[in-house]
Amino acid sequence: MAAPIHIDFTTNNPSSTFSSSGVIVTPTAFSNTGAGGVLAAASWTRYSVGIGVCDTQESTCGSPEHQVDNNQQLDFVLFSFSAPVNSVSFTVTPSGSYDTDVTFYTRVLSTAFNLVGSSVGNITSLGFTQGGNDTANIGVAHTFTIAGSGLTSVIIAAKVSGNDSYLDYFKITSMDASTSGVPEPSTMAMLGGALCSLGLFRRFKKSKV
């Protein structure tokens, strides 16, 4: 059976990964601060409100720059799952009165990939599907759901294109999903019994010919 996954990114977990229902979630941060605007490694940090990102051009990384933001540079957080998950929901919390518009991408492939050196426009060439933008009221925390099954990774970013007059600054507070379920033992036993009965029936029928 599918099991619920809930991860609170506000907890002071010293590990660089999170886990729930046997699924390990690994965040990795990126920003388009590389040469020519390609994606380069950034650093994510856990704060009392959730996960924020510091890129190489945010030297002080003070407030509000330690958010996931789109002020000049675009910040991305890649969440990789140790096992496929279904229907992922994220809650994002703004810094003060900033906006919390989100762009997200999903991936179902389990093959290796590397975001470093890729342009923002080429993320989809790595097997990701751009799910679009999720918009919300300014200064309000909100939860949005990414539909899909068998997801192996998700990218959350401050709104990538079509920005309005309000900059987006937020932290990623929590994540909910469900595991891709497997049949219960009783279900497997019933299936095995049915196959066994079918085999016996075929043998009996054959012996009567």
Q: What is the pLDDT of residue 163?
A: 57
Using CA atoms, how far apart are residues 31 and 70, in angstroms rounded to an integer? 10
Q: How many CA atoms lie within 13 A of 53 on its CB side?
A: 30
Using CA atoms, how far apart are residues 159 and 103, in angstroms rounded to an integer? 5
CA dihedral 106, 110, 113, 119 (to 10 degrees): -20
**Which residue in 148, 147, 137, 129 sits closest to 170, CA to CA?**
137
Tens digit of each residue's pLDDT, the chain (209 residues): 789 999 999 986 667 899 999 999 999 999 999 999 999 999 999 988 999 999 999 878 888 889 999 998 999 999 999 999 999 999 999 988 899 999 999 999 999 999 999 999 999 999 999 988 888 788 889 999 999 999 999 999 999 976 567 889 999 999 999 998 654 444 434 434 444 444 433 443 444 44
Q: What pTM did the predictor assign?
A: 0.84
Q: What is the pLDDT of residue 162?
A: 63
3-state SS assignment for residue 158? strand
List domains and CATH numbers for the chain.
4-182 (2.60.120)
